[in-house]
Structure formats: C-alpha cells, structure tokens
Amino acid sequence: MSAGKGTTVRFDPAGRLKGSIVPPADKSISHRAAMLGGMATEPVVIRNYLEAADTTSTLDAMGTLGAIVQRGPDEIVVRGTGLRESSEVDGPIDVGNAGTLMRLLPGLLASQEGRSYTLDGDASIRKRPVDRVAIPLREMGASIEATDERYPPFTITGARLRGIEYTLPVASAQVKSCVLFAGLTADGPTTVVEPVPSRDHTERMLAAAGVSLHREGDRITVTNADELVLDTITVPGDPSSAAFAIAAGVLVPKSRLLVKGSGANWTRTGFVRILQRMGGVVLGELEDPAGDGQIPGVEPITDLDVAHGSLVGTVVEPHEVPLAIDELPLVALLGCFAEGETVVRGAEELRFKESDRIALVVDGLRGLGAEIEATEDGFVVTGTGGLRGGTIESHGDHRLAMLGAVAGLASREGVTVVGMDAAAVSYPTFTEDITALLRR
C-alpha cells in the first residue's frame, strides 16, 4: 500500500490480515449527540465523538445557533440553548458535506417561532434533495423555501407547530428524526409511520433524555417536551465503518480479525446478518429486533470475530435495505467473490446519497473486472471468484473510496483509489489501521 500524487493511494493484494481493530466512533450517533446537546438544557458530555469533517460541521452548526462547545482531548461538552431558544444568525449555516445534518437540523429550526435560518453546503450537498423533510415540516406549520423547490440552499422559518401523523413514503431514519425533533415542540402528539424499520438512534437518545416516546408496530409517537436532560453520551464504534474491516477479513485469504467495540444495535447490523447468510464467518452478540413498547435509552456494543471463508450469493430484499443501506456497496463487492448471483432490490435510496451509489458502484467494480449490472433499484452481481484489480475513482464519496481499498486488498493485481482522502469523512485512519494489520 503506497500513497501517490495528491490523494491517490495504491492498495496491493494482501497475504493476510491479522490482529484487532477498533472502528472509529459511530458517525450517525455523533451527529445526533451534538444536536441533542445543543437542544438540551443542561451540559451534555460526549465521549468518543467522531472527529471528522461531517461531524465537525454539526458541532460548528450548534455553536452558530448559540450552544457553547468545549472540545477536550477525551470528551466534548455541549452547553445547549434548549428546544426553543436557538440564536438568530447572520448568513447561512454551512452544513459542509453533512447530509445527516442537513436533514435533521430543520426539525429543530422549524420550532423557532418567527426566526428564519438558511442551510447551505458544498457542491455535493446542493445536489441532494430536501423535499422529503420539507413536506412534513410544512404540514406541521413551518415555512420552507428551497432552490428549485427541492434543493439547498433552503430557508426554514419557524412557527408554532402542530402534531401530525406522517407516513414516510420511503424508509429514512433522517426524515423520521427530523419529524420527531419537530414533534418535541408541537401541539399534540406527532406520529411517524415507517414502511419498514430504519435505524433508531434518535429514538434511543430521546428516550434517554426523558422524552415520552412509544413504538407500536410501525408507528413511533412523540409528545411535546419542556426540556431535554442528558448527562453523558458514549458513542460506540461505527458498524458502517467496521463493515469495511469485516469485509476485508472475510475476503482476504488466511485472515483473522477481532473488531472491537462495534455498535450492535439491531437497526444497524443488517450487513452482518446478510454476510452471515452468505456464509461469512462473523461471530458476536448482536441485539435482537425490538418489539412494541417503550424504546431503550442505550446502545448495545459487541466485539466481532471475523475469519476468511468462502461465500455464496444471496438476495437482499427491500425490507432489509434500510438496515444495511450504507453497506450495500460492500454487498456488491462480496458478490464478486461469492458463488452464484447476488441481487439487491429496493435500494433506490442509494441514488440520493453523496453520489448515485448504484451507478458509481456498478461502474467502479466493473472497471476492476466484476460482472455486475445496475437495475433501477439495485444491482445484480455474478460471482467470478474474485476481481482482477485496476483503478477506481471515489468521486468524493467516502464509501466508494473505502470500497476500492477493500477490493484492492482482496484482488489479484491491486487497486489504485483516486480521491482516497474522501474516506476521512467517516474513517480518518482507515489506511493506517489496515497497514497495521498487514504488519502482524
């Protein structure tokens, strides 16, 4: 593995990966911890916060809105303004490349009566639609004005909100979280109906903060809250980042890895369950799916024992997609090495991430020797036992960069990743961690 000009990095075939690895802190939970800290009435201590560009944008945004953010070597303390007292600001709030921030923060801003806020970001963010959060917030009484009616920059004008029942047209933890945030200050209960379950970090944090929150089947209901009271949030390892090390451990011959401290929340372990179904050796204590009733205010953590082994193709059905949405590019990579066909259906959401991940994953893997075809809502991979190698462009998408890195380690000839610095968005030390495993 060697760095070239600019951000180009070469990943040569690995003989084996051996040892233990600690994935970076969970990106989704870090975003939410910073936002909940800014919405709380008492100081919130956040431990193991992810230090990356996207999550820094969230801390900066909360500071712009009046929260005091104290960064220490081992923890971050956020002293918030409460649910209804965000500061007025001069100029747009810059979300950078953070799609989670862009879609969750309007839920708080919509409740700031009589105050207007504009959200903007980089060139990639300006291509990502916001109409799916604008529609329910308008129903609740807020005003949303977007560029071309659906893109950033867009302006939210807060109002006295009313509770609604909103059925998500597509399962989305980000849209769900936005509506639940708005529901904290709305008159009457607010209910979100999910077509299928999505990650539930927001619900768990709100439960820990003392909010009245209830799940019944596909319905999550929140009621008006006077305040949020949180003490300490410890962020677990990110299952989505851990997935890249897990995939490398399964694909690189003779490998044996221990992935330590990964989040085991059942709404985030869909990738591991898919991989196990394909025959992958991944052992650990995963949380069982939740039933109806009160939502737990904790995040489970586990160690995962991973070993190389042969794989068989599988079909990922639409109801599985929300629980593995960020890891589906890795499922495509696994399919290249598996026996038979691997099919992913119902994943059209991938076309609206940092990039059109269906198109770019298919083009990228095909350039490395894969037999893969795109569909409207996913892809079909015919396993050939491996990949030749070559060059892959990240197009500024961190998951595509890390996909190329894992492909290189498992390929016959190696892979050059152009734009590897994109990986720093959620896994700043990926290259260093893999290098350490190769030396053991």
Which residues are part of the catalytic machinery? 326
**Residue reference for tokens 């677990």:** 236
Bridge-based pairing state of the strands 190-193 and 213-216: unpaired
Tokens of 235: 């962020």
CA 247 to chain centre: 17
CA 97 to chain centre: 13
Contact 81, 38 (CB under 8 A): yes
Ramachandran angles phi, psi of 410, nearest 5°: -100, -5
Tokens of 186: 């709305």
Eight-class DSSP state of 112 = S
Widest Cα–Cα separation across the chain: 62
Contact 324, 316 (CB under 8 A): yes
Per 3-state DSSP, the chain is made up of helix, strand and coil in percentages (nearest 5) of 35, 25, 40
Nearest to 406 by CA among 27, 95, 55, 21: 21
CA 139 to chain centre: 27
